[in-house]
Amino acid sequence: MNLDKIQELGGKRLRSAVESAVERGYDFPMSSAEALRRHGIGRVGLRILDSLGMIIPPPPDPYEGLSVRAINVLENLNIADKESARKAILEGKLGPQNSLHIRNYGIKAHREVCVWAGLPEPITLAKTCLVCPHCGGNVPFSAQRRAPTQ
């Protein structure tokens, strides 16, 4: 570890932070979260240490590309990777038909998880409008749900 190079690029404060971390028994390279939280190294110092190869790159995110809602559903169901999600969808354990039992998992989240897991996007039927027999206009969906009064 070249402390003179660290001081040249980051100054005395960065050098003293690195020296104190080494004195306390921490080894470099270390994760960026550890450097930020435990050792008082700021964002600029973190970039300098990263350029010197003293920071470990973060692990890849297994849920890359999913929304927070879909991630929460998968974590609550203990589904950690694409293969187990694909298996659950194909077995019928994970799908919009089970949405009454799985909180926040509707057709949009199902479509998102299918694309993420490498399955074809599910086809959904378009909603059809009723035509009013009196005026010929479209009947709103909220009016369709009401029971007819006679």
Residue 144 lies in a domain: no
- Encode pLDDT of 62-74 as tens digits: 888 899 999 999 9
Confidence at residue 82, expressed as pLDDT on a 0 to 100 scale: 93
- Residue 91 counted as domain residue: yes
pTM: 0.55
What long-range pairs does 137-141 form, CB within 8 A, spacing at least 24?
A: none
Domain residues for the domain of 7 are 3-56
In-domain check, residue 29: yes
Distance spanning both ends of the chain, measured CA to CA: 87
- Please count the residues of the chain: 150
Domain count, the chain: 2
Name the DSSP letter for residue 30: E
In a domain, 92, yes or no: yes
| Inside any domain, residue 87 | yes
pLDDT digits (tens, 9 = 90+) for 28-72: 788 888 887 777 778 888 888 888 888 888 888 888 889 999 999
Q: 93: which DSSP letter?
A: S
pLDDT tens readout for residues 83-115: 999 999 998 888 877 656 788 888 888 999 999
